[in-house]
Amino acid sequence: MTRTGLALGLLLSLAGTIELLAQSGQELYQRGLVQEHATGDLKQAIALYTQAAQTAGRDRALAAKALIRKAGAQEKLGANADAARAYAEVAGAYPEQRAEVAVAQGRLTALRRATRAGATPDAIAAAHAANTALSPTERAPDSELAARLAAFLWNGTPDAALLEAARRGELRDPAALSEHVGRMLRDPRSVSLVDTFFARWLSLRKLKTAEPDRSLYPQFDAELVQAMATETRLFLQSQLREDRDAFELWTSNYTYVNERLARHYGLSGVSGMDFRRVIWPNTNRAGLLGQAGLLTALSVAGRTSPTVRGLFVLTRVLGMDAPPPPANVPSLPERPANRPATMRDRMMAHRINPSCANCHAMFDPLGLALENFDAIGGWRLTDGGLPIDASGAFIDGTPFNGPAELRAGLLKYRDAYYTGVTQQLLAYALNRGGKAGRVYDYEMPAVRKIVRAAAANGHRWSSILAGISASAPFQMKNVVP
């Protein structure tokens, strides 16, 4: 071999090693996300984030992200001194990663401010983690608690029964508070929770602006859109009023249809404009992920979007955050005119960037499992003239094929879901804005306490909502914005 050839070989070998390191770092980062969000093992997550940063190689963006996640997990554990060191490392070693540096500097400022106030960050975290009972001077007045509870569950004002409970001091008693929450959920006014919290959290409002290609879907009209929206609204309302297990949003075997929507689903024996409750003939459409309105909202004009659908499952069901996409990502190519191609084929050709492919591997399979549902939620067996391949695997390697097996596989991530939906509801109850809600790290012990307590009652909605209403963040006099 010539000297030039040897040098070229060494360069190629080095490039391959760097690429493998980056891929390994990305895999470690993704495993850390699973440990943090799905299993709640923060110590293991910290170890994985540390390894991801160390093995990221030239992928400095990944290293900075991993350190930010590591520091956040350390804050949740109350190890704020360690978290501060990790944030400082990001700010000092990765100045070009502006988003991560901004986060690091913001958290460092908050931790230093707490220290100047006279308490160490670790002591503050420990106090919040204990979630001890509020003293009388720290608790909101009973009339204020009644107003907060009515705004939370009814988006309105307290009724006579709630005001009387406040007068008697019952809203400080978790047992009495739980009874009032159950009563309020059975009240028709609880539909406001569907129209406000659930509509935002589940992206249901996107259905109003959906514009499927009418040349491909001529049956899509205003009547069908209204039927889709009504189905989901009635379904969510029944889940609350019947006080179901919160995970049944994704597994329930019933829905509500009228004749127009039943025809869209291929259901027989339904006539008229009125909606009625029906049982699905199989498990393909169980829960929200089988409802046409949500599936339409998670599609684009002329096609499905496995990425959008997969991200929805990742964030709403698994409670995990997806890494932000890199800049200048090219659009998905049009379907080739000279040969048939499924959506899976087009997506595989699209993911030529290794860093894109690694991230998409987290959520695209979840969306591809729903490919039997077209862009307006109709059932199909082929795409582009070819059979649909709806197989895939969770990030831990567990395989699935199609929506029924995806739904069954999601069951093992229920703990992550309960934590995620409790976080979202707590942020809503505290009137915190933002698309995804906001719960601070020091409030996570309260979230975990709510979830643990709700487990004794099958994680029913009343248990989760009552736990939020009895929590220190909700009952304290000065609510943190």
- At 383, which helix (H) or strand (E)? strand 382-383
What is the Rg, in whole angstroms, of the alpha carbon atoms belonging to the chain?
25
Tell me the backbone φ, ψ of residue 399, rounded to 5 degrees. Answer: -80, 160
pLDDT digits (tens, 9 = 90+) for 118-166: 544 444 443 444 345 677 778 899 999 999 999 999 999 999 999 999 9
- Crossing angle of helices 142-154 and 414-429, in 10° steps, is 120
As a whole number, mean pLDDT of residues 275-293 equals: 96
As a whole number, mean pLDDT of residues 367-388 equals: 94
- 308: amino acid identity, one letter: V
Pick the closest to residue 396 from 284, 481, 318, 301 (CA basis).
318
- Cα–Cα distance for residue pair 114/119, rounded to 1 Å: 6
- Cα–Cα distance for residue pair 462/174, rounded to 1 Å: 12
Give the lowest-confidence range in 198-202, 344-348, 431-435.
344-348
User: Which two structure tokens, joined as six digits, stand for 112?
Assistant: 């230093």
For residues 432 and 207, which has the higher predicted lDDT (pLDDT)? 207
Any idea what DSSP says for residue 288? Answer: G
pLDDT at residue 414 in the model: 93
List all residues 6 or more positions away from 360 whose beta carbon is below 8 Å from its beta carbon.
307, 347, 351
pLDDT at residue 121 in the model: 44
Structure-token match 């308490």, residue found? 119
Cβ atoms 165, 180 nearer than 8 A: yes
Q: What confidence tier does 114 reach under pLDDT thresholds 50, 70, 90?
A: low
pLDDT at residue 344 in the model: 67
pLDDT at residue 8 in the model: 38
As a whole number, mean pLDDT of residues 241-265 equals: 97
Name the region of 56 (left: φ>0; alpha: ψ -120 to 50; beta: rest).
alpha
pLDDT at residue 305 in the model: 92
pLDDT digits (tens, 9 = 90+) for 36-46: 765 668 899 89
- Cα–Cα distance for residue pair 450/463, rounded to 1 Å: 8
pLDDT at residue 4 in the model: 42
Instruction: Give me the helices (H) in 191-221, please.
Output: 191-193, 199-201, 206-209
Q: What confidence tier does 432 reach under pLDDT thresholds 50, 70, 90?
A: confident
Structure-token match 């409790």, residue found? 422
Q: What confidence tier does 415 reach under pLDDT thresholds 50, 70, 90?
A: very high
Quote the mean pLDDT of the chain.
Answer: 85
Pick the closest to residue 34 from 398, 347, 450 (CA basis).
398
pLDDT exceeds cutoff 80 at 481 = no
User: Which two structure tokens, joined as six digits, stand for 421?
Assistant: 């939906």
pLDDT digits (tens, 9 = 90+) for 8-28: 343 334 344 334 444 588 889
Q: What percent of the chain has pLDDT over 70?
A: 81
pLDDT at residue 127 in the model: 41
pLDDT at residue 51 in the model: 92
CB burial of residue 273 (10 Å; 0-12, 13-18, 19+): exposed
pLDDT at residue 22 in the model: 44
pLDDT digits (tens, 9 = 90+) for 64-90: 999 999 998 888 787 888 889 999 999
Question: DSSP characters for 329-347?
Answer: PPPPPPPPSSS---HHHHH
pLDDT at residue 122 in the model: 42
CB burial of residue 296 (10 Å; 0-12, 13-18, 19+): buried
- At 278, which helix (H) or strand (E)? strand 276-279
Break the chain into its structural domains and give their ranges. Answer: 3-130
Give the lowest-confidence range in 87-96, 246-255, 346-355.
346-355
As a whole number, mean pLDDT of residues 195-212 equals: 94
Q: Which residues pair with 278 in a beta bridge?
A: 255
Cβ atoms 67, 89 nearer than 8 A: yes
Counting other chains too, the contacts that 271-278 makes at CB distance below 8 Å and 24 or more residues apart are 275/230, 275/231, 275/234, 277/238, 278/254
pLDDT exceeds cutoff 60 at 339 = no
As a whole number, mean pLDDT of residues 470-475 equals: 94
pLDDT exceeds cutoff 70 at 351 = no
| Total number of residues shown for the chain | 481
pLDDT exceeds cutoff 90 at 231 = yes
pTM for this prediction: 0.74
List all residues 6 or more positions away from 215 whose beta carbon is below 8 Å from its beta carbon.
none
Name the region of 303 (left: φ>0; alpha: ψ -120 to 50; beta: rest).
beta
Give the lowest-confidence range in 52-56, 317-321, 351-355.
351-355
pLDDT at residue 362 in the model: 77
Q: What confidence tier does 427 reach under pLDDT thresholds 50, 70, 90?
A: very high
Q: What confidence tier does 330 reach under pLDDT thresholds 50, 70, 90?
A: low
Tell me the backbone φ, ψ of residue 245, rounded to 5 degrees. Answer: -60, 130
pLDDT at residue 9 in the model: 45
For residues 66 and 328, which has the higher predicted lDDT (pLDDT)? 66
pLDDT exceeds cutoff 60 at 389 = yes
